[in-house]
Structure 1
């Protein structure tokens, strides 16, 4: 019995390393408790849902010609950014939670944050494009087709992704991320963020997008209410459920956006510096990742065309020769 207890204690204090054959290897902390296992399972489900739902949106808009419109291009851009978040960023973060080691080398450590910030900021750009597109469509519907075209929207999306890539490279450069001297032990990948750049990032990637989205949707709601009043006057006061639906949809959009982004920036402002291994970073970064799973529910599932297209995808009817020309809006005819 005594020998057994000693053996158990020795196992508990045994030091494990990420790379046992490397002299400067980091220590390995494998988390195997029930709480961590449950957390990993939940986060894995979130990742799978993000990939599956956004893939449905991408296939729908790409396959059906009726959906090849300027209004759906920013939704496609949003789905692509969120797909990459669920396909690449979430699994790596799950691996870091389960095992504190970094197994992708120094090059991977230098490149991964670029794609991390790129996909998240590109998702934000897409949200802005959706808000602006809807604003133009509601405020001036007669001139919408001349102001917004497939070519113009495609160019805008390309510029948005390019700006996101350029900004994030500059952002990481001035936070000294690419300096190899910042690396500690072998098997570690840490991002250090300076307080001054946290404030700059707050303005560029939160305050500005948040302002554009809220102002755009507020104007859209005001115009929608005015149009409902006109319709009521013409139909002798008959109520219309479109106003209630618009309020609910826009309320969900703004609430989810703020709920997923405010905690990260508020907590980051309270610290002089920020690192990617902090618990605060991990928790609130996952809130932003979860937004990638919720976005397709907000911007696609509320549309009837998405529900119709999912039926064709799930039943494999998209492989039929005539499926790209299927009418997804039968109520319009």
Structure 2
């Protein structure tokens, strides 16, 4: 820095310098080129903490309900429910630890988590979010295999356990750059000691885009393909059965699948797209002090909040919409007092009642156009005779001398194959 520079102009010059430039000079000779606020206002802390506590408590409770139901009901131990349990466990751990790291980082001007927090914070968040995304994709594939693929494509119990362990290993490996490429640094100014968490600005900007692809675009693409295939399969089945005069059951299943698909995709889009916008916004920002204040800071909190909100609503989408889960809710000790199963079934019971009333009010008329002609082939007659066990034929006919006004009652033939 030239010696003839006016002292009042130093903050303006420093505001256009990057961290690499500041490392080359003695910052202890200059005042801190930023507004000092240390801790955010009490109103802002209260508002953000309340919002985070709300989704944290709800999400932890709902994910705990899913895990308790699965642990106490062995008849629910299926490969599909293994994957749902893995997703609930991931979301539970995420909501217990990650939001509070985010709030501490947001409330203080200095980075108070020091070196361990700087390296471990990003690694933990990335690992849990990536593992949760992989769990969502595994659940989506399992539903696709159950609805549209062959039985050989279904996930078995042993395969489910292996896939869960593999998802953890892959998530940890992909999140390791947060430990290697981040470090805590202390910088002394004339009037302030600055503590910051520094990132490798060469590697991590590229890595951020890679993380966005893993957290947003790949899971969205997988969900669109899987649920789109399920809807196509159900639509094809409905049309094929409707041409034969049936398909009512498949049609109702299609309506339910459409509602669940809409919830899954809308939740994924709303909760994940803002994070993508945040990353692309950050990549285009200039390396200036105070560049992240204002609109970017608000967007950062909203995007992070929505990612954690997704962890809180996952049990509603993947657990509470499951009929078998709802049946187990009111029979599981510790959970039965909440009557979740009854609440979730209210809408279903109302719909079934309305459907039955409508069916009772409709006068059903059956018209037989032509009587079926008997099969006159001798071979068919012989086969029919051979497949009847005469000892099991019972005809209950009232005696001739018994006076009765009731019609003759004939019991059905009991047919047993020889």
TM-score with structure 1 setting the length: 0.76
Corresponding residue to 2:270 among 243, 259, 263: 259
Distance 1:86 1:285 in 2: 12
1:203 is displaced (CA, Å) by 2.8
- 1:209-220 equivalent positions in 2, closer than 5 A: 209-220=219-230
Does 2:88 correspond to 1:73? no
Q: Which moved more, 1:307-316 or 1:56-65?
A: 307-316
Asked whether the equivalents of residues 221 and 247 of structure 1 are also in contact (C-alpha less than 8 Å), the reply is: yes
Give deviations 1:262-309, integer Å, cap 9, x for gaps. 111123113337899851322211111110011111111111222233
1:53-88 CA deviation, whole Å, 9 max, x = no partner?
111111112221111111111111111111011111
Q: Partner of 1:272 in structure 2? A: 283
Alignment gaps of 5+ in structure 2: 1-35, 286-290, 338-418
* Counterpart for residue 248 of structure 1: 259
Separation (CA, whole Å) in 1 of partners of 2:292 and 2:225: 32
Structure possessing the higher radius of gyration over alpha carbons: 2
Partner of 1:166: 173
Alignment CA distance shift 1:124-1:183 (3 Å): farther
2:133 to 114, 117, 124: 124
Match of 1:48 among 43, 46, 57: 57
Question: Once the 2 structures are TM-superposed, how far is the Cα of residue 39 of structure 1 from its aligned partner?
Answer: 3.3
Corresponding residue of 1:149: 156
Q: Which residue number corresponds to residue 307 of structure 1?
A: 326
Contact 1:85–1:116 under 8 Å retained in 2: yes
1:89-238 alignment, distance < 5 Å: 89-100=98-109, 102-144=111-153, 147-170=154-177, 173=180, 176-177=181-182, 179-181=183-185, 188-189=196-197, 194-236=204-246, 238=248
CA contact 2:184–2:196 (8 Å) conserved in 1: no
Q: 2-side partners of 1:148 and 1:93: how far apart?
A: 36
Q: Alignment partner of 2:61: what SS?
A: helix
Q: SS in structure 2 opposite 1:264? A: helix
RMSD over equivalenced CA pairs, Å? 3.0
**Larger relative contact order, structure 1 or 2 (CA cutoff 8 Å, min sep 6):** 1
Contact 2:235/2:254 (CA < 8 Å) preserved in 1? Answer: yes
Distance, in Å, in 2 between the alignment partners of 1:207 and 1:134 is: 20
Contact 1:118 1:168 in 2 (8 A): yes
2:317 aligned with 1:298: yes
Structure with the largest fraction of helix: 1
Gaps of 5+ in 1: 1-25, 319-333
Note closer, same or farther for the CA distance 1:30–1:142 as it changes in structure 2 (3 Å cut). Answer: closer
Q: Tell me if the contact between 1:191 and 1:276 (Cα under 8 Å) persists in the aligned partners.
A: no
CA-to-aligned-CA distance 1:41-61 (integer Å, 9 cap, x gap): 122111101110111111112
2:176 aligns to what SS in structure 1? Answer: helix
For residue 6 of structure 1, what is the aligned residue in structure 2?
none
